[in-house]
C-alpha cells in the first residue's frame, strides 16, 4: 500500500508543474497562492506520463457541480482521487510571477 503523498513547489515559467503521487487516497486539496499572471491547469493520471484534464471543485463553490479544469487566480481546490494515482498542476499559459502550489492527499478511515 502506498501512503497518500504530498508535494510543495513553485511554478514560474510556461513549462512549470508540481506533481504528487496520490495513490490510495480519497481526496486531494490543492492550494495555489502567490503573485502570478497566467493560467494553471489540473491533470490526473493512472499511468505515469499519460495525463488527462482533471475537474476540480473550488472550495469557494457551494455545489459539487461547479467544476473547473483551469484557474487564473489563487484558491483552494478539492478533487476526488479514488481512481487516480497522480495529480499535477501545470502552467497552461504563463506571463509572470510565482505561483506556489501545495498538494495534500488524504484518506478516510475505514
Q: Where in the chain are the domains?
A: 6-106
The answer to whether residues 15 and 21 touch, using CB atoms and an 8 Å cutoff, is no
Reported as a single tens digit per residue, the pLDDT across 99-108 is: 999 999 987 6
pLDDT at 110: 54
CATH tag for 6-106 (out of 2.40.50, 2.50.20, 1.10.10, 2.60.120): 2.60.120
> Does residue 1 carry a pLDDT above 50?
no
Reported as a single tens digit per residue, the pLDDT across 26-55 is: 889 999 999 999 999 999 999 878 999 999
Percent of the chain with pLDDT over 70: 89
Interacting residues of 106 by C-beta distance below 8 A, sequence separation 6+: 4, 25, 26, 27, 28, 29
* Cα–Cα distance for residue pair 41/56, rounded to 1 Å: 10
* Cα–Cα distance for residue pair 74/62, rounded to 1 Å: 17
The answer to whether residues 6 and 53 touch, using CB atoms and an 8 Å cutoff, is no
Reported as a single tens digit per residue, the pLDDT across 4-30 is: 478 999 999 999 999 999 988 888 999
Amino acid at each position: 500500500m502506498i501512503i497518500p503523498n504530498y508535494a510543495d513547489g513553485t511554478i514560474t515559467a510556461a513549462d512549470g508543474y508540481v506533481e504528487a503521487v496520490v495513490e490510495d487516497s480519497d481526496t486531494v486539496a490543492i492550494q495555489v497562492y502567490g503573485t502570478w499572471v497566467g493560467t494553471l491547469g489540473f491533470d490526473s493520471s493512472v499511468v505515469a506520463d499519460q495525463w488527462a484534464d482533471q475537474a476540480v471543485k473550488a472550495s469557494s463553490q457551494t455545489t459539487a457541480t461547479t467544476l473547473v479544469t483551469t484557474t487564473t487566480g489563487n484558491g483552494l481546490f478539492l478533487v476526488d482521487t479514488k481512481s487516480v494515482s497522480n495529480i499535477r498542476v501545470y502552467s497552461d499559459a504563463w506571463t509572470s510571477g510565482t505561483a506556489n502550489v501545495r498538494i495534500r492527499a488524504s484518506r478516510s478511515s475505514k
